[in-house]
Amino acid sequence: MKAAIVSQPNQSPIYGDFKTPTAAPGENSIAVTAAALSQLAKSRASGAHYTSSGEYPFVAGVDGVGRLDDGRRVYFLLPEAPYGSMAEKVVIKPAQCVPLPDDLDDVTAAVIANPGMSSWAAFTERVHLAAGETVLVNGATGTAGRLAIQIAKHLGAGKVIATGRNLEALKSLGALGADVTIPLETEGDGLEGALAEQFASGVDVVIDYLWGPSAERLLIGAAKSAEGARPIRFVQVGAISGASINLPGAVLRSSAIELKGSGLGSVPLERLIVAIDGVLRATIPGGFKIATQAVPLSALETVWNAKGDLRRIVFVNPN
């Protein structure tokens, strides 16, 4: 079969031939129609992600959309190594498949499932967002952050505050449901001051896609500005700005901040699949907006290292 083949660490995949998987009893055989180039897919392909197997060669891609032998359309997640979603075929356990709503097309389903799941799982599994609460999205101008705004409002958030470095992108977030936008032009005392008013008014949940310096200043600002002992549930999802932070212990001792993460490992796989099902079912009725570029699998080498938001690119197989 044709596939995106990764032969060694830190090497982009190439389009070539890979052994076609054979379904064992109890497994689904899926003809893949679309697979997203997500940050998770790239990180695992490079060998840098904490869930990477370290075995080569393998097929890139962590999730996708396809058709079962009986024609039913499904979203699928985490094929077993060395197989991945960027191929003509995958085999996978039925528990790792989600039926697609009839009104949701393959490309949209493939591109929205992973970034949408990141916030849906964080809100529903890790911080249990309640109707009327205030949410701050740190790093809201990327695809996952933009979806987090929309999903927060869909799940009942009363107010959404969005931060980001891209000033032009920030201007567009009001149309997605952001009530307040804060530019991350400065990451020192200036940012802390800009956040102080929002924390003083009350923030219930922070979902963080950046980590690094902005998360440091955000946590310090929250501890200084939060009203009394009002709890702030801070959930870390991404680390675009850095893998670690320098956090004074006094921040946690002097505040009611609850600090946790959300992702593979902190949320059981079966619950992540429930979160994905929630996103897919809500996409059309919720009017979730996501920009997408669809290219054929054969063109993967020309777009794998393209600049910009990777989650917008989907590899499509003819069917």
**pLDDT digit string, tens, across residues 189-206:** 666 677 888 888 899 999
N-term to C-term CA, the chain: 14
pLDDT of amino acid 43? 76
Question: Span 101-118, mean pLDDT?
Answer: 95
When pLDDT is averaged across residues 3-20 and rounded to a whole number, the result is: 91
> Roughly what angle, to the nearest 10 degrees, separates helices 269-286 and 106-121?
120
For 207-221, the pLDDT digits (tens) are: 999 999 889 988 988
Residue environment code for 101-137, b if the CB has 16+ CB neighbours within 10 A, otherwise e: beebbbbbbbbbbbbbbbbbbbbbbbbebeeebbbbb
Strands 14-17 and 2-6: antiparallel
List the domains of the chain with CATH numbers: 2-100+289-316 (3.90.180.10), 115-261 (3.40.50.720)
Q: How far is CA 171 from CA 85, 127, 180, 186, in A?
A: 35, 28, 10, 18
Least confident of 145-154, 182-191, 240-249, 282-291: 182-191
Residue 48 has pLDDT above 80, yes or no: no
Q: Enter the pTM of the model.
A: 0.90
Please report, rounded to a whole number, the percentage of residues in the chain having pLDDT higher than 70: 91
What is the per-residue pLDDT across 119-158, written as a single tens digit (0 to 9) for each? 999 999 999 999 999 999 999 999 999 999 999 999 999 9
Reported as a pLDDT band with limits 50, 70 and 90, residue 313 is confident
Beta carbons within 10 angstroms of residue 185's beta carbon: 10
Q: What is the C-alpha separation between 201 and 161, in angstroms, rounded?
A: 12
State mean pLDDT over 160-187. 90
Helix axes 143-154, 269-286, angle to 10 degrees: 80
pLDDT of residue 227: 54
Burial class (CB in 10 A: 0-12, 13-18, 19+), 79: buried
> What pLDDT was estimated at residue 264?
84
- The verdict on whether omega for the bond into residue 57 sits within 30 degrees of 0, i.e. cis, is yes
Report d(CA 305, CA 303) in Å as an integer. 6
Q: How far apart are CA 309 and CA 146, in angstroms?
A: 12
